[in-house]
Amino acid sequence: MTTDAPRLRPPHHRVDRRAIRWWTTRSLAVTVVLTAIPLVPAIIWEPPRAWFLLATAVVGGVGLLITVLMPQWRYRVHRWEVTDTAVYTSSGWIWQEWRVAPMSRIQTVDTARGPLQRMFGLSSVTVTTASAAGPIEIAGLDHVRATEVAEQLTETTQATPGDAT
């Protein structure tokens, strides 16, 4: 093993701060939909079934708690870094994962922008490798920064010897 081989270590950069609002909005949308599922029968049926109201309160309460806590926690945990030799990521909020992908193992680099990401000016960069663990995603980057990262990765992987297998 050479001394300049990439090592698993904490990445340096945080995702864009707007990712907090993006994650909050996504979580709130899911909470509203899940809360409506038991609420609609509780409203429609006469007399109202108490357990539907209880389910509505529990789902809504847990959903709101997650909506408030999860985005802040994810922002503290999510990190990324691109060096000349590897891509480093740290992600998760309950189950946390650190990943490193050597440049020689990268097969494709993609960017994606869903409707909510566009609304907040964000993008995700997905790095596909020859790993059974699957692709590495850097979610919540500023759109311009994500484009720069994708271009940097493309240039670096083209200049890196190896067959990405």
Domain boundaries, the chain: 20-74, 79-159
CA atoms lying within 13 Å on the CB side of residue 101? 30
CB 92 within 8 A of CB 76: no
Percent of the chain residues past pLDDT 70, beyond the cut: 91
Average the pLDDT over each of 3-12, 40-49, 50-59, 88-97 and give the range with the smallest value: 3-12
The position carrying tokens 């081989």 is: 5
2 pLDDT above the threshold of 50: no
Q: What are all long-range contacts of 157-163, with beta carbons under 8 Å and residues at least 24 apart?
A: 157/103, 157/104, 157/106, 157/109, 160/103, 160/104, 160/106, 161/104, 162/103, 162/104, 162/105, 163/104
Q: pLDDT digit string (tens) for 67-116? A: 999 999 999 999 999 998 889 999 987 888 888 988 888 999 999 999 99
Q: pLDDT digit string (tens) for 106-165? A: 999 999 999 999 999 999 999 998 888 889 999 999 999 999 999 999 988 887 766 655
What fold does the segment set 79-159 form as a domain? PH-domain like (2.30.29)
